[in-house]
Amino acid sequence: MPGPLVVIPTYNERENLPAIVARVRAAVPEASVLVVDDHSPDGTGELADGLAHVDPSVHVLHRRGKEGLGAAYLSAFEWALERGHDPVVQLDADGSHLPEELPRLLAALETPDAAGRRPDLVIGSRWVPGGSVVNWPRHRMWLSRVGSAYSRIMLDLPVRDATGGYRVFRAEGLRRLHREDVHTRGYGFQVDMLWHAVMHGLSVVEVPITFVERELGRSKMSWGIVIEAIWQVTAWGFTRRFGRRRDQAAAATSEARRRSRA
C-alpha cells in the first residue's frame, strides 16, 4: 500500500525545504512526500531532486513555471490518486503548518462521528477553540478572519477556517469532489476546493492547529491575490443564491402545474 502522501508546493523555498521535509518524515515515517515545484528560480526544484535521491519516500513533480498554488495542487492530486496514495495531505513549505501536528490531523480522519461516519476532509483550523496564530501582524489576522467569515456566509460553509491550507483528504473523497470544476489557480483555491467538497457531500471536521508565520523566504501573498479571492467568493455566492432561487421557482411552478392538473 502506498500510504499517506504529504504534498508540499514550492516556489522559491530553498531555505525552508530540507527542514520541512525532514520534519514531515520524522513526524509520520510511513508518509511519502511529494514536492511540487513551479520551476523556482532559486533552485528549489534541484534541491528537492537531491532530497529525493537520498530518500526513496520523497518525490518531485516539476512544473513548467509559476502557475499558482491551485494548479500545483490539482496536478499533485492526480499524481497521488493515480498511485493509490491515501490520505492526501496539503502542507506549506514555509513552516507555517507544523508537521508535528500531522498525527493529530490523521487521527481525526479516522475518528467517526455520532452517526459512525468518518470525515472525508480534516482542516487544520486557526479559528476554532485551541487554534492559534504565532507571529502574525494584526492586519494578517484580521484579513484571515474576515476572509473566512465572508466565505462562510456567502457560501454557507460549515467551518471557521475556510482559507487555511493545512488539510487532509481521504482519497475516496478527493475522487468524488469533481476536481475538474475547480478552476481557481491562485489562493482562492482553498475556498474553491472546500466549497466543492461541501457541495459534493464530503463531511468536514476542523482540528485546532498552531499556525506559525514564516521566518525564512518571502510570502507570495499580494493585494492582487486578496482582491481576486474576494471577487470570486462574491461571484460564487451570488450564483449560489440566485441559482437556488431559480431552482426553487422552477420547483414551485411544476408543483403548481401538478396541482392544477389534479
Binding site residues, Mg ion, CB under 5 A: 92, 94, 96, 214
219 binds ligand GTP (CB under 6 A): yes
Q: Considering only the stretches 101-109, 111-119, 212-220, 229-237, report the one whose residues sit in contact with ligand GTP under the rule CB under 6 A.
A: 212-220
Inter-residue contact 14 to 43 (CB < 8 Å):
yes
93 binds, among Mg ion, ligand GTP, none (CB under 5 to 8 A by kind): ligand GTP
| Residue 42 Cβ vs ligand GTP, minimum distance, rounded to whole Å | 11
Stretch that binds ligand GTP, among 81-89, 104-112, 123-131, 218-226 (CB under 6 A): 218-226
40 neighbors 14 (Cβ within 8 angstroms): yes
Count CB atoms within 10 A of the CB of residue 52.
Answer: 17
In degrees, rounded to 5, the angle at the alpha carbon of residue 17 between the alpha carbons of residues 15 and 22 is: 125
Q: Between residue 7 and residue 36, which ones bind ligand GTP under the rule CB under 6 A?
A: 9-11, 13, 36
Alpha carbons within 13 A on the beta-carbon side of 258:
6
214 in contact with ligand GTP (CB under 6 A): yes
Cα distance between residue 8 and residue 20, in whole Å = 9
Sign of the CA dihedral 161, 162, 164, 165?
positive
Q: Is residue 193 a contact residue for ligand GTP (CB under 6 A)?
A: no
Beta-carbon count within 10 A of 66 CB:
16
151 binds ligand GTP (CB under 6 A): no
The phi, psi pair for 70, rounded to 5°, reads: -60, -45
Cell numbers standing for residue 172: 475516496
Interface stretch with ligand GTP, choices 126-134, 150-158, 215-223, 242-250 (CB under 6 A): 215-223
Cell numbers at residue 57, please?
Answer: 519516500
Contact flag: residue 161 with ligand GTP (CB under 6 A): no
Residue nearest to ligand GTP (CB): 219
Binding residues for ligand GTP restricted to 88-107, rule: CB under 6 A: 92-94, 96
Binding site for ligand GTP (CB under 6 A): 9-11, 13, 36-38, 66, 68-69, 72, 92-94, 96, 214, 219-221
